[in-house]
Amino acid sequence: MTRLDTLLAGLARDRSTGALRVGRSGTIFLSDGRVTYMECAQTPTVERLLVARGRMTEAALRALQADGGCVRLLEDGPVTPGELQYAVLGVVLDAAFFLLPASGTRPKFRPGDEHWLGGQWFFDVPGLVRECARRRAQLAQAWPSAEADTLPVRPAARLPGHAVALDGVQWEVIVRADHQATPLQLAKRIGRSGYSVLLAVRRLAAAGLLALPASAPEGGALPRRTRDERERPPHDPQAAPLPLGPHTTADPADLTLLMRLKTALEELS
């Protein structure tokens, strides 16, 4: 089976434009051989982040997608170019982390397909591969076992000590954990990147703040989401919208700078 990054390298050499669909796992969009966007079924999309963080309603987002796309979003929506760029960066890094190691699925390329955001930003595949490796190492450093990645998040009944310090993502995970949702399900619910929630969960596990079983359930199956959970509003409509990222005004050439900023913020947390 050909590696996904090898396929992308071939599409880059051919200066292809279209969408590379990795079965039901996700889609990679390219323009003139360059990656413009990735989305993964396991992690939140830009649309999900906009809705879950209270930036837009689903109805308003659908209207923008049908009429004007990214241009209308930046002209009429409550999102700044810098915020949207940072959100897209997070979504693409998230998707790359789960899609690039994928195996067992034969990707299919559909020429001409384009994401509604268009070709606003471009990503270097070798850079994405390097970032995926860095993230895997960071997860292993935080907590070497991947057991907590797919189990429902269950906060411990008692603190292991007298005091504990949590960062923003860890606090949201603890507050929104219902003993049923897995880390990636929580990420979609609270409008955070899947990787940031995985990292928060592993750090919570390392601090003894999660109740973990001796072993994962037989077969490792993910818990099914109930109908009530699927229909639960992702964000309180009366609450103030939450920022998608730092309020920057970076131009499209500054993705490398934003990636460094994102890495630095993760290292400081």
- Residue ranges of domains in the chain: 1-130, 143-239
Q: What are phi and psi of 36, to 5 degrees?
A: -110, -25
Residue 241 has pLDDT above 50, yes or no: yes
pLDDT tens sequence across 144-186: 989 999 999 999 988 887 788 899 999 999 999 999 999 999 9
Residue 2 CA neighbour count, 13 Å, CB half: 12
Which two three-digit tokens encode residue 139?
Answer: 């997860």
pTM reported for the whole predicted model: 0.76
Residues 54-100 pLDDT 10s: 888 888 888 888 887 888 888 876 788 888 888 899 999 999 999 98
Strand stretches in 157-256, DSSP E? none
pLDDT tens sequence across 110-123: 999 999 988 888 99
DSSP state letter for 110: E
- 8 Å CB contact between 8 and 35: yes
DSSP 43: S
Helices then strands, counting H and E runs in the chain, come out as: 11, 4
